[in-house]
Amino acid sequence: MRIQLSDHFTYRRLLRFVAPSVIMMVFTSIYTVIDGLFVSNYVGKTPFAALNLIWPLIMALGAVGFMLGTGGSAIVAKTLGEQKPEKANEYFSMIIFTTILAGIGLAVLGLFVVRPVAILLGATSDMMPHCVLYGTITLIALPAFMLQNVFQSFLVTAERPKTGLFIMILAGITNICLDAFFIIGLDWGIAGAAAATSCSQLVGGVIPFFCFINKKKRSRLHLTRPHFNGRILLKACTNGSSELMTNLSASIVTTLYNFQLIRLAGENGVAAYGVISYVFFIFSGIFFGYSIASAPIISFHYGARNDQELKNLFKKSLTFLITTGMVLMTLAILSAPALANLFVGYDTELCEMTTHGLGVYGISYLICGINIFASAFFTALNNGAVSAAISFLRTFVFQIAVLILLPIYLNLDGIWLAVTAAELLSLFVSTFFFIIKKKRYYYA
């Protein structure tokens, strides 16, 4: 039976609705990690470190797509809840075409700054050509990457999460197959990894268009002639500012991680952190997938003034996130040796460093899901200011503070523990906002 945003959500119905998005985000993370797996094992440690060094630039530029997708889908879902489908389609279409224009402009900018940024990030002379080559090729597909991020949110809003899952699986298969073909078959090295990623992003960013062009297809949303509305676009950007901040902060913080790791552990430190980041992408994908999928439901019932359903969703979400966090923390600690060996088993010293880092870093999964959801929850309630405050403190202020302070006392362990310390501080902030805002939104 088709699940609609207007339904009452039991645990079973909620999990059935969010499952495609959770799987989609995990799968997206996995196929992103595939590049690193192939490069590390078939190209070398230096190109692998270079890939992880330049990736923050790609994510920083692509963060605009996350902002428009999450912020825009919150507005569109709320408008649907207010029984204004024509306006919802109008806003949706404007956001899609704005994403295309922004993607083209940012890709051009990125091509000009990729080398200076690589220098700024501390690339060595050996790493520099790999950084520039990987960055240049992936930037060409930046508009598609941004569209992929936007469509992930809107396919859920359109009540088509399974379609989004199918498209991401197709994109993932494309990436994996082309990685093997370009890197192993054609021996293209890091250029092959970048080309495979770009092709997969084209699949993820272009195919969804066909889901929204045909008005005869069963969907809450359809592409129409866009009408520019500066107020709505600004509201979408404000709503999604937390997601923009999350990704921009992650890029800056990753740069600081790399600086600290090069200082304390050299190239091995950057490579080890690359593996840890990949595992974090996969595990946190569950939390991000849940947040993306549940946000339109929350926005719809907020727009429909259905307070009882908001309370129901809030309670069930916290239960799911706490339980999942405990499971993921345990899994991360137990699987650390196997995961390290999978990526860097060819280097004993690096493998031991990575195993230890994975285990310590894994403690953060117990907490981070609640903070990720808190930011997305207030975005869904169209409160971009609170969402941005949680995200900014969590991903930037707290992370930078602990990254500077903890290594002074704990050396390399201070770096691995930094994210857990930042998440713990963020939990106090999330809890504070949950408490003071419940009288305004009636979710508890």
Average pLDDT of the residues in 364-376:
93
Closest CA to 145 of 86, 271, 57: 57
Closest CA to 36 of 252, 257, 270, 208: 270
The token pair at 311 is 């309370």
**pLDDT higher than 80, residue 32:** no
Residue at token pair 């974090």? 280
The token pair at 412 is 């390399």
pTM: predicted TM-score of the whole model, two decimal places: 0.72
Are 329 and 25 in contact, with CB atoms under 8 Å apart?
no
More confident: 401 or 225: 401
Predicted confidence at residue 2, as pLDDT, reads: 66
Residues 6+ apart with CB under 8 A from 338: none
**DSSP code at position 183:** I
**DSSP code at position 131:** H
More confident: 246 or 415: 415
1-22 pLDDT, tens per residue?
Answer: 566 767 777 888 888 888 887 8
Neighbours of 42 (CB within 10 A): 17
Distance of CA 108 to the CA centre of its chain: 23
Closest CA to 400 of 250, 247, 245: 250
Average pLDDT of the residues in 382-404:
87
Predicted confidence at residue 1, as pLDDT, reads: 55
| Gap between the Cα atoms of 56 and 212, Å rounded | 31
Name the strand (E) or helix (H) holding 37.
Answer: helix 11-42
Are 134 and 183 in contact, with CB atoms under 8 Å apart?
no
The token pair at 83 is 């029984």
Are 161 and 5 in contact, with CB atoms under 8 Å apart?
no
Longest dimension (CA), the chain: 63
Are 280 and 272 in contact, with CB atoms under 8 Å apart?
no
Predicted confidence at residue 215, as pLDDT, reads: 62
The token pair at 309 is 């359903």
| Gap between the Cα atoms of 5 and 292, Å rounded | 13
255-306 pLDDT, tens per residue?
Answer: 788 778 878 887 788 788 888 888 888 898 899 889 888 888 888 888 888 8
**DSSP code at position 310:** H
Closest CA to 366 of 407, 415, 325, 395: 325
Are 331 and 110 in contact, with CB atoms under 8 Å apart?
no
Let me know how many helices (H) and strands (E) the chain has, helices first.
16, 0
Give percent of the chain above pLDDT 70.
97
| Gap between the Cα atoms of 193 and 52, Å rounded | 12
Predicted confidence at residue 430, as pLDDT, reads: 95
**What's the residue count for the chain?**
444
Predicted confidence at residue 420, as pLDDT, reads: 93
| Gap between the Cα atoms of 49 and 190, Å rounded | 11
Look at the alpha carbons of 393, 394, 400, 405 in this order and tell me if their dihedral is positive or negative. Answer: positive
Residue at token pair 């699940």? 3
The token pair at 42 is 């078939």
The token pair at 229 is 């509305």
96-140 pLDDT, tens per residue?
Answer: 999 999 999 999 999 998 899 888 777 778 889 998 999 999 999
Average pLDDT of the residues in 207-228:
77
| Residue 77 CA: distances (Å) to CA of 219, 220, 302, 325 | 13, 10, 9, 28
Predicted confidence at residue 372, as pLDDT, reads: 92
Are 382 and 302 in contact, with CB atoms under 8 Å apart?
yes
Average pLDDT of the residues in 216-245:
77
Neighbours of 355 (CB within 10 A): 18
